[in-house]
Structure 1
Amino acid sequence: MNAYLSIDDVGITFQTEKGSFRALDHVNLKVEKGEFISIIGHSGCGKSTILNIVAGLLQATEGGVLLENREVDSPGPDRAVVFQNHSLLPWLSVYDNIKLAVDKVHGKTKSKEERHAWIMHNLQLVRMDHAKDKTPNEISGGMKQRVGIARALAMEPKVLLLDEPFGALDALTRAHLQDSLLEIQRRLGNTVMMITHDVDEAVLLSDRIVMMSNGPAASIAQILKVDLPHPRRRVELADDAQYNHYRAEVLRFLHGHAPASAAA
C-alpha cells in the first residue's frame, strides 16, 4: 500500500559561485494521511529545503515527491505553506487576506455566500473572527500567525506545511499557538509537516520526529515515533516520564550531531 505522501530518494545540488553544493542526499520518508511530522536538526541540515521540495517551490535533482500517487513538480493549493514571516498583505483586512486565497481556490466551486461562510469558519477556528476588519499592522505577531494559519486551512490543503511558524514569537504566545494547532489538527485530521528547532514543540505536537544529519549532503539520520495519547496537555506532560524520555532522545541526538564549530 502506497503512502499518502512519499519522499522518494530525494537529492538536490545547488550551483554556487564556489561550485556545486550538495544540500540533500538520499532522503526517503513515507507520511500517512493525518500524521503530524516534525523535522528537526541543526542549521544548514536541509530542513527547509525538504519542505520547499514538498511545496513544489524547489525541484529535486534526483528522486521526487508523490502526493496521493501524483508527482509534485510545482506549487499547488493541495499544499499550503505557513512561513515564520506571516506574509499577510498589509493593505488588506484580516478578512480580505483570507478572502484572496479562498476566491483563488474556491471561486468556481463555492458561491459568494458559501465563500463568506467558509472564511468566517476558518477565522473562528483560530479565534480571530473578532478581528476580521483589522489590518495586519493593527494586530500582534501571534494574531498575524493565526491569520496565516487560517488562510492556509481555508485552502483545504491535503498537506499543511509549516516552516518554523512560531519561531519569531515570545514563549507565551508560542505556547498558545501550539495548543491551538494541536486542537485544530485533532479536529480536522490534517496531514502536517513542520520544520522546527524547538525540541519541546516537536515532542508536544508530533506523531513522528524526523532528525536530520548535518549538511552538506544531509539525510535523515533517525526517526522517533512519539507514542503519547491525545489530547495532549503541556502542563500534564511536564512530569510525564514518557514525554521526558522522548525529549531526552531528541536532545541526545542533537548534542551528538552538533556541528564542529558549535562543539568547539
Structure 2
Amino acid sequence: MDTQEHLRISKVGKIFKTSSGQYEALRDVDLAIEKGEFVSIIGHSGCGKSTLLNLVAGLEPLSYGAISLDGQIIKGPGPDRAVVFQNHSLLPWLTVYENVRLAVDKIFTGTRADGQRHDWVMANLELVNMEHAAHKRPAEISGGMKQRVGIARALSMEPKVLLMDEPFGALDALTRGHLQDSVMEIHARLGNTVIMITHDVDEAALLSDRIIMMSNGPAAGIGQISRVNVPRPRHRVELVEDPDYLSARAAVLRFLHEHRSEVAA
C-alpha cells in the first residue's frame, strides 16, 4: 500500500440549525487517510457517521475546519468522490446498463468516444459480476444485485475515494457476505481508497485496514482508532481463530460497550 497521505480531515466540525436551536453534530474531527486504505467508521446511532461521510462527499457544508483530497480543498460534490448508499438509488425506468452509462456519459463525454464509454460500462459491470443482467431493469433483479450495480456505477466514475454508507445494511446475511467478499476482491484489484460506514463489527474487522470508532453525540468525535493487522487477501473462515482479527474485533466491541450507557442516558 502506498503510504502517501491522500485524504485529510482537519479539525472538522458540523453544527445544524434546528427549531430548538443549534445542534453540534461533530466537533474537531481530525483524520488522515492514506492512498489505497480501507477505513471503516463505526459507532452508535446518532454519532455523526453519516454526517462525516456527507462532509467528505461535499453534500453538506462544513461549519469549521477543512477537508482536502490530494492537497485540494473540497468545496462541494465531485466525481473524485463517489458515494454508494444503503438504498441503491437506481433509476427504475432505466436498465442496469443505462444506469451505469448515465454516470459514464456525465463524466467522460468529450474525453472518450461512444465505443470507449460502452466498453467502460461493460468493464465495470463485469467487475461486479453483473454483465449478464445489463439489459434488465432494477425491478427484475434482487437487492444484492442492485447494490452491485450501484457499486459499478460509483466505480465507473473512476473516483479517487469510494464512500459507502452502510451499503449492505438492508441485505440478508448470505447476500451481505457475498458482497463483502466482492468488495474485498475489487479493492485488491483496483487499490482504491474506501471509507465505509457500518454498524457491523465483524464487517468492519473483515474489510478494514483501520476502524475509526466515533464517540457519541452531540459534539461527537473520534474516540478510538484500531488497526487491523491481518494480511490480505483475507478469507473469513480462516479469520475465526486469527489473533490479530480477534484483537481488532474485541477492541471495537469493548469501545461500543463502554459507550452504550451514554446512548441509554
TM range (shorter): over 0.9
Deviation at 1:238, TM superposition (A): 1.3
Where has structure 1 moved over 4 Å in runs of 4 or more? none
Q: Which of 137, 140, 162 is the aligned partner of 1:138?
A: 140
One-letter code aligned to 2:245 = Y
Flag structure 2 segments of 5+ consecutive residues without an equivalent. Answer: none
Contact 1:214–1:259 under 8 Å retained in 2: no
Deviation at 1:260, TM superposition (A): 3.6
Q: Which residue pairs with 1:86 in the alignment?
A: 88
Take 1:123 and 1:177, find their aligned partners in 2: how far apart are those partners? 14
Q: Which residue pairs with 1:34 in the alignment?
A: 36
Deviation at 1:3, TM superposition (A): 2.1
Q: Which residue pairs with 2:109 in the alignment?
A: 107
Take 1:35 and 1:261, find their aligned partners in 2: how far apart are those partners? 30
Q: Which residue pairs with 2:131 in the alignment?
A: 129
Deviation at 1:244, TM superposition (A): 1.2
Residue identity over aligned pairs, in percent, reads 65
- Secondary structure of 1:99's counterpart equals helix
- Secondary structure of 1:217's counterpart equals coil
Flag structure 1 segments of 5+ consecutive residues without an equivalent. Answer: none
Q: CA RMSD in A?
A: 1.1
Q: Which residue pairs with 2:19 in the alignment?
A: 17
Take 2:11 and 2:86, find their aligned partners in 1: how far apart are those partners? 27
Could you tell me the TM-score, scaled by structure 2's length? 0.97
Deviations 1:130-153 (A, max 9, x none): 000000000000000000000000
Deviation at 1:2, TM superposition (A): 7.2
Contact 2:127–2:186 under 8 Å retained in 1: yes
Change (3 A) 1:261 1:213: closer
Q: Which residue pairs with 2:53 in the alignment?
A: 51
One-letter code aligned to 1:164 = E
Q: Which of 189, 205, 208 is the aligned partner of 2:207?
A: 205
Take 1:228 and 1:203, find their aligned partners in 2: how far apart are those partners? 9
Contact 2:4–2:35 under 8 Å retained in 1: no
- Secondary structure of 1:30's counterpart equals strand
- Secondary structure of 1:168's counterpart equals coil
Matches within 5 A, 1:238-253: 238-253=240-255
Take 1:261 and 1:222, find their aligned partners in 2: how far apart are those partners? 17
Q: Which of 57, 60, 63 is the aligned partner of 1:61?
A: 63
Deviations 1:195-250 (A, max 9, x none): 00000000000000000000000000111111100000001111222211111111
One-letter code aligned to 1:82 = V
Q: Which of 188, 197, 212 is the aligned partner of 1:186?
A: 188
Deviations 1:160-188 (A, max 9, x none): 00000000000000000000000000000
Take 2:78 and 2:207, find their aligned partners in 1: how far apart are those partners? 25
Q: Which of 238, 248, 257 is the aligned partner of 1:255?
A: 257
- Secondary structure of 1:7's counterpart equals strand
One-letter code aligned to 2:185 = E
Take 1:2 and 1:178, find their aligned partners in 2: how far apart are those partners? 26
Contact 1:34–1:190 under 8 Å retained in 2: yes
Q: Which residue pairs with 1:169 in the alignment?
A: 171
Deviations 1:49-96 (A, max 9, x none): 000000000011010100011010110000000000000000000000
Deviation at 1:261, TM superposition (A): 5.0
- Secondary structure of 2:68's counterpart equals strand
Contact 1:2–1:69 under 8 Å retained in 2: no
One-letter code aligned to 1:28 = D
Q: Which residue pairs with 1:8 in the alignment?
A: 10
One-letter code aligned to 1:115 = R
